[in-house]
Amino acid sequence: MKLLLIRHGQSEANAEGRLQGHLDSPLSERGRAQAQALARRLQGEGWQIAALYASDLRRAAETADILAAHLNRPVVHDARLREYDYGLLNGLTWPEIEALGDQIGLNLRLDAEWPDIPGAEGLEAFRARVAAALEDIRARHQDGDIAAIVAHGGSLSVLLSHLLGLPPRRLFPFRLSNASLSIVEFYARGPRLALLNDTCHLPSQLRE
């Protein structure tokens, strides 16, 4: 089995520099162009994708819809693939976060000790829901299948950590760009990371 991991295209909130979490922001015009470029790549390379799964948040769902139109596959939405819920911080800009004080913004920027964020999702609950979604997807497919997941930088980073057996020292150990493609291949001895954060399908004006 192969698993294609795709981060959504740029959202309007991305363009505004907002921490999104569960903020339900649509794709920006740039994000739609990024998704179209990725769709053309997958179609041109002849990927025979058996199923396309996506977070139900708009930025991921809209990206998946663009891919589905090129790949002729329906989209299965799963709320467990959503981004981490930052609670009070959902939708805030970095200056707004840093204005809250209490080391919250500094710790987030430095990836230091995870701050206590009012209303935020528990870290173990976040890891557990993403892992559960992944294992359900794997259970639906046979060895030769190719499946794609369209989700978020945080949820995909946690998913990769789970697959590769990385210790949970850092919540988001991978930095994934908008409309990036990562690929995990599964073998009898375990999964292998074949591609990480690839954006070669994006022209220079659409890259971060």
Q: Which of 12, 62, 83, 121 is catalytic?
A: 83
Catalytic residue status for 8 = yes
Q: For 154, phi and psi rounded to 5 degrees?
A: -70, -50
Phi-psi region of 34 (alpha: psi -120 to 50; beta: other; left: phi over 0): alpha
Catalytic residue status for 12 = no
Centre a 10 Å sphere on the Cβ of residue 24 and count the other Cβ atoms it contains. Answer: 16
Smallest Cα–Cα separation from 82: which of 161, 25, 140?
Answer: 25
CA gap 11, 91 in Å, rounded: 12
Q: Which of 8, 12, 62, 121 is catalytic?
A: 8
Catalytic residues: 8, 83
